[in-house]
Chains A and B, each alone.
Chain A
């Protein structure tokens, strides 16, 4: 096992491929040999001829097919009948198919991008949440304040009413509150009972 040996080609389709027609031709030739019809098509022409032709002529023979290649414009094929719709330019010299990401660098780049984005999302969410929280807090405080105010108002009115009623025995009141604060309401009740029974 030698993991250190293992590595993949970095983005093998990304780089510019053989751009000229020669490369394309080479590709065609190779596929022809791979094809099923190989023996039929090749036998009569290629090898037989090449064997008979002498060394000097061979270079010539190799050259000749180059001239035969025509570009699409040269052939004057009507553009409307193309498979690729007009306006969509097929990138030349590039192989079709997907571009894979398998090297560390590009993966890291993508990851960083994604994470930055995510970070931003989360951050904004957090900020939003915090703001909401603040607002809520503020509201809460306000509500509390209001409640307190109301309560105090109520207390005030109560107090005023009580004062009105108990104005007559003013001197006794001080004593009363004192005993309440000392003994609690229960004691107060009991004492009141006593009073009623007595």
Chain B
């Protein structure tokens, strides 16, 4: 386990900033009890974790440490950062553009499908094309995130079967990809 280097930090922030607005800085802001969140890299996975926890976790040997705090995603072999569904709570908290899907669209999305116009309940105004989106149910339960296929204005004109949002991650992955999503040591 180690902190991130500058490049790595940048890569992580860039990815997070795809989905989040200005409030992202709150995740590294000091908390009221004097603690703050830091990033930690363990076996290619990036975790955001309270500093007090990170310091305690140094007691655990590398091979035995499987997870701490919230996992954001992992660095690929080529040095790119891949964000995981486990980062959803953080993205949902600070989301810039949001998309709400109707009850009939929830299961198709959770099974890994893209979001079609017919399933969209609400959509943030002013969302450009190919911009990160956080996907919610109509009662504001975050389900996953993706990338807008069209801008808000364009998707208004779309026919009901047209894709509005390309799925990137959804909660269904907890079932589908349990084997690959988490570190096994």
Q: Is the CB of A110 within 8 A of B153?
A: no
Known: A125-B128, A125-B131. A107 touches B153 (CB 8 A): no
Chain A residue with minimal CB distance to B40? A102
CB of A126 within 8 A of chain B? yes
Output the nearest chain A residue to B31 by Cβ-Cβ distance.
A3
* A111 interface neighbour in B24, B35, B36, B52, Cβ under 8 Å: B24
Interface size, B (range): 20 to 34
**Interface hits, B14-73 → A, CB 8 Å:** 14, 17-18, 22, 24-25, 28, 30, 33-36, 38-39, 50-52, 55
With A104-B30, A122-B131 as known contacts, state yes or no: A3 contacts B2, CB within 8 Å: no
Asked whether B153 lies within 8 Å of A129 as measured between CB atoms, the reply is yes
Q: A3-B34, A8-B3, A99-B5 are in contact. Are A110 and B55 (CB under 8 A)?
A: no
Q: How many residues of A contact B (CB 8 A)?
A: 30
Question: Are A101's CB and B3's CB within 8 A?
Answer: yes
Residues of chain A with a CB closer than 8 A to B128's CB: 122, 125-126, 128-129
Instruction: Tell me if B51 and A6 are in contact (CB < 8 A).
Output: yes
How many A-B residue contacts, CB cutoff 8 Å? 83
- Is A156 an interface position by the 8 A CB rule? no
A114→B81 CA distance, assembly (Å): 15
Which residue of the partner chain, among A6, A101, A115, A125, contacts B24 with CB atoms under 8 Å?
A115
**Residue A98 CB within 8 A of the other chain:** yes
